[in-house]
């Protein structure tokens, strides 16, 4: 069963007044002397949803890669087995000398046996008449 993709984080719009972010320089308003980006709760929540969705998509992608890798290995093994069967049946299909000349041998043998039987019948009939 295919996994459902996560919902897009930007599916719901952020309310107009709550969609803000501000760059903060070190020592400006934050007492710990750290620089960064200050953003609204709604925008931070959306950023967190993007992070979670990205991680989920990435894990699905890794699972797909592993699955398709195993499928490719199975496919390659089937191809190798099929190649082996082709070689086996090609070798088996090579006809022997007798198989290639069976018709000619049968015709020649039939003519010789027919001639012998004909001579035998003529000889037998000639013996009966005497």
Nearest by Cα to 6 from 61, 67, 44, 43: 61
What pLDDT was estimated at residue 32? 67
Q: What is the pTM of this model?
A: 0.47
Q: What is the pLDDT of residue 18?
A: 83
pLDDT per residue, tens digit, the chain (130 aa), is 456 777 777 777 888 888 887 777 766 665 666 777 778 888 888 888 888 888 888 888 899 999 999 999 999 999 999 999 999 999 988 888 898 899 999 999 999 999 999 999 999 998 888 7
CA distance linking residue 90 with residue 71, whole number of Å: 28
| Distance (Å, whole) CA 97 – CA 114 | 25
């Amino acid at each position: 069963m295919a996994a459902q993709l996560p919902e897009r984080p930007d599916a719901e719009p952020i309310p107009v007044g709550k969609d803000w972010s501000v760059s903060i320089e070190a020592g400006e308003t934050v007492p710990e002397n750290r620089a960064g980006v200050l953003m609204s709760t709604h925008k931070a929540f959306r950023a967190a949803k993007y992070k979670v969705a990205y991680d989920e998509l990435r894990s699905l992608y890794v699972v797909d890669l592993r699955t398709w890798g195993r499928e490719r290995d199975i496919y390659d093994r089937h191809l190798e087995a099929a190649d082996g069967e082709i070689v086996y049946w090609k070798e088996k299909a090579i006809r022997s000398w007798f198989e290639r000349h069976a018709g000619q041998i049968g015709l020649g043998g039939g003519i010789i046996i027919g001639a012998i039987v004909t001579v035998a019948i003529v000889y037998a009939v000639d013996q009966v008449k005497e």
